[in-house]
Amino acid sequence: MELVEAIILSVLAASTPLLIAATGELVTERSGVLNLGVEGMMIVGAACGFGGAWLTGSILIGALFGIVAGTLMSLVFALMALGLAVNQVATGLALTILGIGLSGLIGAGFVGERITPAAHLHIPGLTDVPLIGRVLFGEDAFVYFSIALIIGVWWFLYRTRAGLILRACGDNHISAHALGYPVLRIRTLAVMFGGACAGLAGAYLPLAYTPFFIPGMTAGRGWIALALVVFASWRPGRLVVGAYLFGAVTILQLHAQGWGVGIPSQFMSALPYLATVIVLVLLSRARTGGSTAPAALGTVFVPDR
């Protein structure tokens, strides 16, 4: 019983940064921009988030530092890929390389330091209910926030006019421009939202997951978040399912090693990517028409004036 509870708790903890980062990237990609720099923005968010919390002793300020750092990183991307119309794939990859280097520099001063991790909710009575108590009512604030965030994004995309305009930019930027929508401004905002989410997801790692910072601690989670957006076929509902599934796989991998299951851990680490490839194949076989990906995804847009 306790083991099951422990596994669920660790799955939630492992899934939350994936969910937050992928939510941001989903909004970015829905606006038609492919930002491959999620890993880079996350790791800078992790370094700055830890630095903020370590200097001030406040988890909240740490999280804000992470958000600001991720947003600043995404602005570098926006300047290159939107302002100067540089190839988005190349810019995104460069952003990741930049982020890994930059985070090592920022974090050099506090490697080995520890902070008190984010507190978990405790509601007397409810939290103590066996099995589900701690899962539902005993998480840290990031977990609840991530769920509120994806619901908010779903509501924004499908229930508001601004969300409709954002999806329109991702479908056909020429039409959106012809109707008078400021495509580049909308995309810049979407990229910034993606950066803020990636920064927060990165900050989650040293603030709640492991209470210290080590260089490279995102360990490929940014790439999993990117795969997750494709896995979810750009839909918020599927993104939640995918995030917990991918989180579960990473935890399963640890437990499988502990139990001495004879599956190589490398194979388990590769599972999320393999699942993404399989989903892509299934999607392209099953679709009857229309495109699942935002039609303008990754294409450069220069308005004529």
Partner 1 sequence: MQAHQRMLDPTPDGLHSGESPLLQTVGLTKRYGDFLANDSIDIEIWPKEIHALLGENGAGKSTLVKAIYGLIQPSAGEIRWQGERIALSGPSEARSRGIGMVFQHFSLFDNLTVAENVALGLDGKESFKDMSARLEQVSKTYGLPLDPKREVWQLSVGERQRIEIVRALMQDPKFLILDEPTAVLTPQEADQLFVVLERLKAEGRAILYISHKLEEVKRLCDTATILRGGKKIQTCNPRRETAASLARMMVGGEIREVKAAAGRQTTIPRLVVNDLSLAPDEPHGVRLEHISFELKGGEILGIAGVAGNGQDELFAALSGERLAKDPGTVVIEGIAAGHLSITKRRKLGAAFVPEERLGHGTAPRMKLSENALLTGHAASGMVNRGFIDTAATLDTVDKATETFDVRKAKRDPEAASLSGGNLQKFIVGREILRNPAVLVVSQPTWGVDAGAAAVIRQALLDLATAGAAVLVTSQDLDELAEIADRIAVMFHGRLSEPLATRDATREKLGLLMGGSSLEPKEAAHAAGA
- Shortest gap between Cβ of 290 and partner 1 (angstroms)? 5
Q: Which residues, 181 to 210, sit near partner 1 by CB under 8 A?
A: 181
Return d(Cα 155, Cα 149) in angstroms, integer. 10
CB neighbour class for 281 (10 Å; exposed up to 12, middle 13-18, buried from 19):
exposed
Using the minimum distance from each CB to partner 1, give the nearer residue, 133 or 182.
Answer: 182
Q: Cβ 119 to partner 1, closest distance in Å?
A: 42
Binding flags for partner 1, 218-247, as an x/- string (CB under 8 A): ------------------------------
Per-residue contact string for residues 279-298; x = within reach of partner 1 by CB under 8 A: --------xxxxx--xx---
Q: Are 132 and 76 in contact (CB under 8 A)?
A: no
Give ∠ CA 119-102-44 in degrees, rounded to 5. Answer: 30
Contact 272/226 with Cβ under 8 angstroms?
no
Name the token pair of 186: 């909308």
For partner 1, the closer of residues 182 and 220 by Cβ is: 182
Q: How many residues bind partner 1 (CB under 8 A)?
A: 24
Q: Which of 184, 305, 157 is nearest to 239 (CA)?
A: 157
Cβ atoms within 10 Å of 62's Cβ, excluding its own: 26
Binding flags for partner 1, 147-176, as an x/- string (CB under 8 A) = --------------x--xx-xx--xx-xxx
Nearest to 197 by CA among 38, 48, 58: 38
CA atoms of 142 and 146, how far apart (whole Å) = 6
DSSP structural state of residue 126: T
Nearer Cβ to partner 1, position 269 or 292?
Answer: 292
Which residue of 2, 258, 259, 304 would you call a contact of partner 1, by CB under 8 A?
304
The amino acid at residue 224 is I
Is the distance from CB of 187 to CB of 198 less than 8 angstroms? Answer: no
Identified binder of partner 1 from the candidate list 148, 179, 270, 302, rule CB under 8 A: 179
List the interface residues with partner 1, window 4-23 (CB under 8 A).
Answer: none
Q: What is the smallest separation between the CB atom of 280 and partner 1, expressed in angstroms? A: 14
Residue 174 beta carbon to partner 1: minimum distance, rounded to whole angstroms: 7
User: Residues 104 to 123: which contact partner 1 by CB under 8 A?
Assistant: none
- In the complex, the residues that contact partner 1 under the rule CB under 8 A are 161, 164-165, 167-168, 171-172, 174-181, 287-291, 294-295, 304-305
